[in-house]
Chains A and B, each alone.
Chain A
Amino acid sequence: MSALAALVRAYDRMAARNEVPPFGYSIQNIGFLISLNADGSVAGKPVDLRSGEGNKRRARPLAVPQPVKRTSGIAPNFLWDKTAYVLGVTEGDGKRTAAEHQAFVKLHREWLVGHDDEGLVALLRFLDGWLPERFDEWDWPEEMKDQNIVFVLERQRLDDVFIHDRPAARELWATLSAGSGKNAEAICLVSGEKAPVARLHPAIKGVWGAQSSGASIVSFNLDAFTSYGHEQGDNAPISEASAFAYTTALNRFLERDSGHRIQIGDASTVFWADAGAPEAAENAEDFFAGLLGIDDEKIANRGVQDTLDKIRAGCATADVLTELPEGVRFHILGLAPNAARLSVRFYLEDDFGVIARRYLKHVERLRIEPPPREAVPSMWRMLVETAVLRKSENIQPNLAGEWLRAILSDTPYPLTLLSTLIMRLRADHDVNALRVAMLKAILTKNFRMEVPVALDTACTDQGYLLGRLFALYEQAQTIALGHGVNATIKDKYYGAASAQPRKVFHLLESGSANHLSKIGKQKPGLKVNLEKRIGAIMELMEPAKDPFPASLPDRSQALFGLGYYHQRNEFFRKADKSLPEEAAA
């Protein structure tokens, strides 16, 4: 099923539970409330609807009549709008504020005239009597400017029944919005029914990096995108009801605290579950949120932590997963902005158990000894390891989405991940647990290689051995010269050693002879120990094969990093444990 159809179904389920506004309404952030008496006079100062402290005050989300799609023209909304339209005041220079206010008043006069509903009449009288100068005269709060405004009758204020919520207003809006549906009828590609086609779709807000006014998935904003002489929405016939439903559901999922969204690289990802029992769906959503590390509380509550700990300790996924919710369809949609449009980076739909198992398998593949410092490294934490200077804006576009898709659909990881990591290692020589874990996962998944989790003294892969050897040379240097060295051999030679061993290893070898002899003068035992270990690695190299090849392929470069990481940490581990495993070496 397509993503849009799935979103429409999600909307239907939410509508049945009254969690989303009905057709024709949409949730908007409303800052202030103007309370009116029945005669249109203002009952006191406007009420601040925002919550929170200081600069972080957030407007209250309310269901109001669907806004018109504004681009550059002047187009007022029905029964609510921002202050420039409603009151004719704005914070900025407001060149056309007067025109905007006029349009708002004119539209409402036109539409509200002849209605005898108390609320609508009061609003009309208010607009008749209002002058923008009053704003300063009455000393209304400055911060009200440019906020969205709604109206209420004073006696209904405490019941939270706004003028646009009154039955007469709803009825009027229903006829008005139906009247605007002069659009041609066609088969809706979501529902398959004949219905008026939406020309422009409501905007989708909350995608990271997109325009704050919202962007569209379905849009034809240049003529190269149209076909067969169709215009706008006719290129992809979607009924107004379906367009409303999918955008409403998506906007709801994209809200900041909806519990349905997670930012992975540049992809704003939403997920939702579809199950007979709402509880099972909720369980699945929470479990997934916990898995991807959005919410620490959820991790603790749902036992996700236990599951992850067990996997990290080396239990097979099959043993761990016994309590996954059954019979839940799970949908994951990744969106990224592109020039006022949204592009679908990935869309996955599968049984929840299948998806969760795949993710846990991925976690299993990432297992490494010694483990990274964070207990549950999130996707974001891993992705910044691929970025220059660890800045999230430097993460390659597309990489995050491709990676998550690969994880959740159990396909090979994107190979750009491998090349990027190798490049990062060569550039900044920071061989840390997260990077090595990712390298290991790629080798395991994409090349079906057996990659050691912890130091494997029997592994004979050339890259791995060279990595270990490099770590030992570095240790010899550190012991001989102390930690005060400005540029260690790692700083100088890591890149060359991992890619073109022949160029540098003979240099390292002769250097290490000097270091070893220096160590020998003070701590002869340590020298013997190091020589033994270097010798043990040399023994594993096949004499027939060139031990120091001119170049290493990327897979071996990845193993080089892994070998280096393992050997180096072995060194640290010995330092704090007094029991050396000499016998094994």
Chain B
Amino acid sequence: MAFGVRLRVSGDYACFTRPEMKVERVSYDVMTPSAARGILEAIHWKPAIKWIVEEIRVLKPIRFQSIRRNEVGAKAPVTAIRKAMRSDDLGDLSLVVEDHRQQRAATVLANVDYVISARFELTPKADGSDNPGKHLDTFNRRTRKGQCFHQPCLGTREFPARFELIEPDAPLPTPETETPDLGFGTPRDLGFMLYDIDHGGDRSSLFFRATLDRGVMKVPPPDSPEIRR
């Protein structure tokens, strides 16, 4: 693990929304790789690097809770924004909450704690001034100080994540209770899980078969055949 990092993230709530139930939100049981990538990118990201999540370790029992909230059902259409930019008039862009209120239920995770193990690769955008050691140092330094570009979140923005670097020589934390729902005893099949959105291609969803074995969910590398595209 030359350029690997391990980051412990925790929070009171989390919602890693399943795509099939994203209107009345239901969370996946475990953090998805793309959510983990989002957290890493919130702390340190440059066009020169690409984060690759290797595994996600679950430290707390998986517990759900359901909540109901008022949200809006509309979003500002791109065309209206373009028009506003052209005409320099913000008239049509307003959104009256009272008219678009939608009550939505969500089944979210409560009290979560994960360790994200990840590495990064240099992208073609890396130039002479970039080298892996520099970015690794930057990431570690920023994490130790608690710096981030924007507040990392656990799936959705309303659930902020606390983060903490696990120093390279420190041992990995283990789950406090070894329950069967974390895959102790027999590995637990989590079904197909969202791997990421194919941002380079047609923005379709990529999936992989996730299993939780002794509290660890292994994430296949990006070019692996395990990722269905």
Contacts and interface: CB of A to CB of B under 8 A. Distances in A.
Given A190-B20, A191-B192, 10 more contacts: A186-B204, A187-B206, A187-B228, A192-B209, A217-B24, A224-B75, A235-B22, A237-B204, A345-B107, A398-B105
B202 to A, nearest CB: 9
Interface string A399-412: 00110010001010
Given A222-B74, A338-B104, A189 B205 contact: yes
Contacts of A304: none
Which 10 A-B residue pairings sit nearest by Cβ, starting from the closest? A343-B24, A222-B73, A343-B105, A236-B19, A236-B20, A1-B191, A228-B203, A187-B228, A225-B23, A2-B191
A1 B210 CA distance: 9
A346 B107 contact: yes
B66 A190 contact: no
Contacts of A228: 197, 203
A538 to B, nearest CB: 43
17 contacts: A189-B192, A189-B194, A190-B20, A190-B192, A217-B20, A218-B21, A223-B73, A223-B74, A225-B73, A228-B197, A339-B102, A341-B24, A342-B24, A346-B66, A402-B66, A405-B66, A411-B63
A189 B66 contact: no
Interface string B33-76: 00000000000000000000000000000011111100111110
Contacts of B21: 217-218, 236, 344
A219 B63 contact: no
A448 to B, nearest CB: 16
Interface in A1-53: 1-5
A130 interface: no
Interface string B127-160: 0000000000000000000000000000000000
B121 interface: no
Interface in B89-147: 100, 102-107
A570 B95 CA distance: 63
Contacts of B181: 350
A346 B20 contact: no
Contacts of B73: 222-225
Contact of A192 (B23, B204, B228): B228
Contacts of B205: 186-187, 189, 236-237
A192 B192 contact: yes
Interface residues of A, number: 48
A346 B100 CA distance: 27
B20 A187 contact: no
B229 interface: yes
A397 interface: yes
B26 A5 contact: no
Contacts of A1: 189-191
A219 B19 CA distance: 11
B18 interface: yes
B23 to A, nearest CB: 5
A403 B140 CA distance: 43
A2 B105 contact: no
Contact of B207 (A189, A227, A397, A405): A189
A229 B203 contact: yes
Q: Taking each of B26, B105, B189, B207, which has the highest tally of chain A beta carbons within 10 Å of its own beta carbon?
A: B105
Contacts of B63: 409, 411
Interface of B: 18-24, 26, 63-68, 71-75, 77, 100, 102-107, 180-181, 189-192, 194, 197, 203-207, 209, 228-229
B191 A338 contact: no
Contacts of B102: 222, 224, 339
B107 to A, nearest CB: 6
A380 interface: no
B24 A223 contact: no
A398 B66 contact: yes
B64 A397 contact: no
Given A5-B192, A347-B26, A397 B71 contact: no
Given A187-B207, A346-B64, A346-B66, A220 B191 contact: no
A401 B24 CA distance: 15
A338 B49 CA distance: 43
B105 A187 contact: no
Interface string A195-216: 0000000000000000000000
A499 interface: no
A336 interface: yes
Interface string A499-543: 000000000000000000000000000000000000000000000
A370 B181 CA distance: 38
Nearest to B68: A398
A224 B72 contact: yes
Contacts of B197: 228
Nearest to B208: A192
A488 B22 CA distance: 54
Contacts of B103: 338-339
Nearest to A405: B64
Given A2-B191, A228-B203, A229-B203, A189 B23 contact: no
Interface string A409-450: 101000000000000000000000000000000000000000
Contacts of B24: 217, 338, 341-344
B149 to A, nearest CB: 22
A336 B105 contact: yes
A360 interface: no
B32 to A, nearest CB: 12
A112 B107 CA distance: 48
Nearest to A223: B75
Contacts of B180: 351
A469 interface: no
Contacts of A149: none
Contact of A236 (B22, B71, B107): B22
Q: Taking each of A4, A230, A236, A350, which has the highest tally of chain B beta carbons within 10 Å of its own beta carbon?
A: A236
Nearest to A190: B192
Nearest to B78: A229
A358 to B, nearest CB: 13
Contact of A218 (B20, B203, B209): B20
A340 to B, nearest CB: 10
B207 A4 contact: no
B188 to A, nearest CB: 9
A189 B104 contact: no
B209 A397 contact: no
B107 A187 contact: no
Interface in A342-374: 342-347, 350-351
Nearest to A197: B204
A264 interface: no
A238 interface: yes
B22 A344 contact: no
Contacts of A338: 24, 103-105
A235 B26 CA distance: 15
A338 B189 CA distance: 30
Contacts of A220: 23
Contact of A345 (B105, B191, B204, B207): B105
A222 B203 CA distance: 20
Q: Taking each of B73, B205, B209, which has the highest tally of chain A beta carbons within 10 Å of its own beta carbon?
A: B205
Nearest to B190: A1
